[in-house]
């Protein structure tokens, strides 16, 4: 059986408020999962946010997306999407082009190199997710995912 959060964090007493314990438990779990994901992505020279951008753009297809659309879809908001995209352009993972019909609109597309990096990561990332959540049954995973969606919905 898993240790209660206050024991894991080496606190002397349990939390007074269940909501606080739950919030901190979500934050602690997210931090541990993200740290482990960093280790999966590091050999490929990507951060989790860059990986997220590549997946967003692969899903967008040939149409690509503008900077604001990418920023709105990121799992974790970043303060400067333009700078993030600049670095990824320098790495040749993405490309950007102005629209002919509206020169103010710049579309971002994933490059063949970006697609190749993602293709090499698809298997390891899938294995990472399966391994990290292996001890939790499908029904509990669905319930957890639904509960977290409800929590996000209250933040709107």
pTM: 0.88
Domain spans in the chain, listed from the N-terminal domain onward: 44-120
Name the one residue in this structure whose structure tokens are 């602690």.
28
Is pLDDT above 90 for 2?
no
CATH of 44-120, picked from 3.20.20.480, 1.10.10.2160, 1.10.10.10, 1.10.3720.10, is: 1.10.10.10
Report the chain's mean pLDDT, rounded to a whole number: 92
* Segment 108-148, tens digit of pLDDT: 999 999 999 999 999 999 999 999 999 899 999 999 999 99
Is pLDDT above 70 for 69?
yes
Is pLDDT above 90 for 61?
yes
CA 148 to chain centroid, in Å, comes to 15
* Segment 79-101, tens digit of pLDDT: 999 999 999 999 999 999 887 67
What pLDDT is attached to residue 103? Answer: 65
**What length is written for the chain?**
156
Is pLDDT above 70 for 156?
no
Residue 108 near residue 65 (C-beta atoms within 8 A): yes
- What's the CA gap between 156 and 152, in Å, rounded? 7
Residue 110's beta-bridge partner residues? 94
CA end-to-end span of the chain, whole Å? 35
Quote the tokens at residue 110. Answer: 């994933």
What pLDDT is attached to residue 42? Answer: 96
């Amino acid at each position: 059986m898993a240790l209660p959060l206050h024991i894991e964090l080496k606190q002397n007493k349990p939390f007074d408020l269940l909501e606080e314990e739950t919030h901190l438990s979500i934050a602690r779990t997210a931090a541990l999962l993200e740290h482990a994901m960093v280790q999966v992505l590091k050999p490929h020279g990507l951060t989790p946010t860059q990986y997220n951008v590549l997946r967003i753009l692969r899903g967008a297809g040939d149409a690509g997306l503008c900077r604001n659309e990418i920023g709105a879809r990121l799992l974790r908001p970043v303060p400067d999407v333009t700078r993030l995209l600049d670095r990824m352009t320098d790495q040749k993972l993405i490309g950007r082009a102005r629209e002919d019909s509206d020169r103010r609109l710049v579309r971002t597309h994933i490059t063949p190199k970006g697609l190749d990096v993602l293709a090499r990561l698809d298997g390891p990332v899938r294995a990472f997710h399966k391994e990290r959540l292996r001890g939790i049954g499908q029904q509990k995973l669905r319930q957890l995912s639904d509960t977290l969606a409800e929590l996000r919905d209250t933040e709107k």
